[in-house]
Amino acid sequence: MKNKVLMGLAAIAMVAFLSSCGKVPQEKIDATNAAITAAQTAEAGVYVPAELTAVQDSMKAINAEVEVQKSKLFKKFGPVTLKLDATLALANKVAADAVAKKAEVKKEVETTLTDIKAVIEENTALMKKAPRGKEGAAVLEQMKTEMATIEASVAEAQGLYDKGSFLDANNKVKAAKERAVGINTELKDAIAKVKGGKAKPAAKK
Amino acid sequence: MRKNWRDLLIFAAIAVSVPLTIIILVSLTPDPPVGQVDYAREILSKAGTSGANMYSKKLYTQAKNYYDSAMVNWKNENKRFIYFRDYEKVAFFADLSAKKSTEAANNSVSSSSNLIIKLKQKITTLNDLVTEINTLFTTYPLSSEVRNRISNGKMLLEEGEIAYKKGQYMVANKKITDSEYLLTASYDNATSNLKNYFKSYSTWKNWVYKTLNESKINRDYSIIIDKFSRKCIVYHNGAKKYEFETELGKNWVGVKRVKGDNATPEGMYKITKKMDSGKTKYYKALLIDYPNDEDKARFRAEVEHGTLPSSAKIGGLIEIHGNGGKGIDWTEGCIALSDRDMDVVFKIAKGGTPVTIVGSMLELHDVLER
């Protein structure tokens, strides 16, 4: 009788053991989620959005896999743990990439801001030399208005830069630079035409 | 011996019944909709990659919420005793999520394609509008507010184009829409102003006709100033003899109403005085009889109606003079020619030579076409 009871208990213990041998790797899940949050805080969504989406998708797949295992009588979290390790490493990489990309864009904005300030300065000097013949002065007046808009845009871009919105600042300052360079080319062409005209004696009347 | 046989039988029964029990237990476990959830997740991810989160935001958000609901339900079911679990809702939400994701992705592809086409067209149209504005209004006295709006519109268009080139279509759309608003509003404002101005065209045409006729009858010189094209045209015996570039008052559009308004008057005038070098600070000058009777009558009517203050003065001393060639409308209402051109006009002009100043010798339609 004693033996039967012991054997029954052994069978129950075996079933209990088999059904509870897998434990949710909660610490790793928490660590990976924290790493993804850190990547988001590092503005991965702004600077490396595709990478962030990929890591978020991986985490979603892991969460589903956890539930799959939890749905089973005999749970097995080994493969999930391996995937978590890989996703954690990926999340850390995404955070690092976001920081690097942000620094790169920041540097780009700084360079463009320096460049455009030089172009604005050059344009101001060129305007004094530009020909004021037929409609020239009217065009210069228009250019002055546009230069004022460009300067306002540069100030806006500087404001965005100061706030840390480097991507927005980059778009704004690039557009301002394109316009400033356009005006610079127009001014140089107009000055060159006059110089060229004077250089040709045949053009004199 | 018998006891040994009994123990063996018991052991054999246990050895068979334990795996059997396990098999029965496993087979009775409800299956979660793994395939459906995986499919929903894949489709949702694809929808996101196709830009549905931007171009089909509502559908994408619904799909995402349904997927989250499926997962929440799955988690909740997993908390229950294994044989009491029911994954029907999980499957339901997963299917719904997949359906919405597919709709969002399809919608996003068509929306983004449409948006790209729309943006490309708008960029072309707005650049054409900028060219037209530059052609028509560079020398037109627009208010500084309108000029600033045009300038801001151009800047936004540039920003929009940069965003478009980078594939940031939603950002490009916002910038280009703002640019469109500023540019079209400014253009409409300016053209409506222009159309209003050209309402006097029939009067101008009549003046020009009379002036040319007079030149023909008298076999003498007449001068016509076309303000819009900035031309000073000298006719002799009704035929064009010379054509010169002119510069006008800073606020040249419309009639001169009052002293100090920097407007160049419009009407049929005559030269009253010739001032050679040394008698004017503008190289040489031809004084005209502004204000004439019509100008005086209009001025009086404006004062009487209160549209001009009683202290207002009508102004005068309108001349055709030298010192021009600056390339901008800079006078206080006079007509400036380059000194070389002034020499020619000064030579042919005499007291009584007709000087007719009109807004334009061409109709607005022709001006715009030109």
**In the prediction, which pLDDT does A135 show?**
60
Residue B345 has pLDDT above 80, yes or no: yes
**In the prediction, which pLDDT does B40 show?**
96
A107 and A39 share one domain: no
**A3 in a structural domain:** no
**A116 in a structural domain:** yes
Q: Which of A2, A18, A19, A70 to mutate to test the interface with B (most CBs of B within 10 A)?
A: A70
A141–B18 C-beta distance less than 8 A: no
A79 and A126 share one domain: no
Closest to A175 (Cβ–Cβ): which among B32, B159, B329? B159
Rounded to whole angstroms, how far apart are CA atoms B98 and B67? 8
H/E stretch holding B152: helix B144-165
At residue B10 the predicted structure's pLDDT band, cuts being 50, 70 and 90, is confident
Domain end call among A101, A133, A162? A101
Rounded to whole angstroms, how far apart are CA atoms B239 and B243? 11
Look at B35-44, B204-213, B296-305 and tell me which has the smallest mean pLDDT. B296-305
Look at A13-27, B13-27, B110-124 and tell me which has the smallest mean pLDDT. A13-27
**A11 in a structural domain:** no
Considering only CB atoms, which chain B residues are within 8 Å of A171? Answer: 159, 162-163, 166, 168, 171
Tokens matching residue A167: 């991507």
Q: Calculate how close chain A gets to B307, using CA atoms only, in Å.
A: 31
Distance of CA B24 to the CA centre of its chain: 74
The predicted model gives B250-268 an average pLDDT of 84
pLDDT in tens, B322-340: 988 877 778 888 999 999 9
Cα nearest neighbour of A136 on chain B: B327
- How much is the mean pLDDT over chain A? 85
Q: Calculate how close chain B gets to A96, using CA atoms only, in Å.
A: 22
At residue A160 the predicted structure's pLDDT band, cuts being 50, 70 and 90, is very high
**A9 in a structural domain:** no
A149–B245 C-beta distance less than 8 A: no
Closest to A64 (Cβ–Cβ): which among B37, B168, B329? B37
A191 and A136 share one domain: yes
Considering only CB atoms, which chain A residues are within 8 Å of B151? Answer: 145-146, 148-149
Please give the residue range of the domain that contains residue A55: 22-101
A114 and A178 share one domain: yes
The radius of gyration computed from the CA coordinates of chain B, to the nearest angstrom, equals 42
**Residue whose C-alpha is closest to residue B40's, from B74, B75, B68, B73:** B68
A67 and A107 share one domain: no
Residue A131 has pLDDT above 90, yes or no: no
pTM more than 0.90: no
Considering only CB atoms, which chain B residues are within 8 Å of A11? Answer: 14, 17-18, 21
**Residue whose C-alpha is closest to residue A31's, from A98, A81, A99, A78:** A81
A18–B45 C-beta distance less than 8 A: no
Instruction: Please give the ipTM for the structure prediction.
Output: 0.74
**A178 in a structural domain:** yes
**In the prediction, which pLDDT does B289 show?**
92
Cα nearest neighbour of A51 on chain B: B49
**Residue whose C-alpha is closest to residue B53's, from B186, B44, B90:** B44
Domain count, chain A: 2
B7–A3 C-beta distance less than 8 A: yes
Residue with tokens 């268009």: B157
A141–B154 C-beta distance less than 8 A: no
Q: Which of A73, A105, A116, A204 to mutate to test the interface with B (most CBs of B within 10 A)?
A: A73
pLDDT in tens, B134-166: 888 877 878 888 889 999 999 999 999 999 999
The predicted model gives B49-62 an average pLDDT of 92
**A49 in a structural domain:** yes
User: Considering only residues 13 to 42 of chain A, which have any Cβ-Cβ distance to chain B shorter than 8 Å?
Assistant: 14-15, 18
B138–A135 C-beta distance less than 8 A: yes
In chain A, what is the straight-line distance between the N-terminal and C-terminal CA atoms, in Å? Answer: 133
At residue A81 the predicted structure's pLDDT band, cuts being 50, 70 and 90, is very high
The radius of gyration computed from the CA coordinates of chain A, to the nearest angstrom, equals 33
What pairs with residue B274 in β-bridges?
Answer: B286
**A125 in a structural domain:** yes
Closest to A135 (Cβ–Cβ): which among B26, B85, B139? B139
CB contact B15 to A (< 8 Å)? no
- How much is the mean pLDDT over chain B? 90
User: Considering only residues 192 to 211 of chain B, which have any Cβ-Cβ distance to chain A shorter than 8 Å?
Assistant: none
Domain end call among A101, A133, A161? A101
Burial B109-144 (b: 16+ CB within 10 A, else e): bebbeebeeebeebbeebeebbeebeebbebbbbee
A67 and A83 share one domain: yes
Q: A160 and A200 in contact (C-beta within 8 Å)? A: no
Domain end call among A45, A73, A101? A101
**Residue whose C-alpha is closest to residue B333's, from B248, B272, B275:** B248
**In the prediction, which pLDDT does A13 show?**
55
Q: Calculate how close chain B gets to A165, using CA atoms only, in Å.
A: 15
CB contact A11 to B (< 8 Å)? yes
A142 and A80 share one domain: no
A106 and A184 share one domain: yes
Amino acid at B145: E
Tokens matching residue A150: 């460009």
B330–A72 C-beta distance less than 8 A: no
At residue B279 the predicted structure's pLDDT band, cuts being 50, 70 and 90, is confident
CA distances from B118 to B51, B130, B182, B233 (A): 17, 18, 18, 47
Residue A152 has pLDDT above 50, yes or no: yes
**In the prediction, which pLDDT does B308 show?**
86
**In the prediction, which pLDDT does A85 show?**
97
At residue A16 the predicted structure's pLDDT band, cuts being 50, 70 and 90, is low
CB contact B72 to A (< 8 Å)? no
CA distances from B319 to A45, A74, B49, B269, B355 (A): 67, 105, 70, 11, 10
H/E stretch holding B221: strand B221-226
**In the prediction, which pLDDT does A200 show?**
34
pLDDT in tens, A178-194: 999 999 998 888 888 76
The predicted model gives A127-152 an average pLDDT of 81
H/E stretch holding B130: helix B88-137
A175 and A151 share one domain: yes
**A176 in a structural domain:** yes
Q: What domains, with CATH codes, occur in chain B?
A: 2-110 (no CATH), 113-198 (1.20.1270), 201-369 (2.40.440.10)
- What percent of chain B has a predicted confidence (pLDDT) above 90? 55
A132 and A158 share one domain: yes
Closest to A73 (Cβ–Cβ): which among B29, B144, B168? B29
Tokens matching residue A162: 């100061």
A141 and A110 share one domain: yes
Residue A114 has pLDDT above 70, yes or no: yes
Give CA torsion, residues B44, B50, B51, B52, to 10 deg. Answer: -50
A191 and A108 share one domain: yes
At residue B44 the predicted structure's pLDDT band, cuts being 50, 70 and 90, is very high
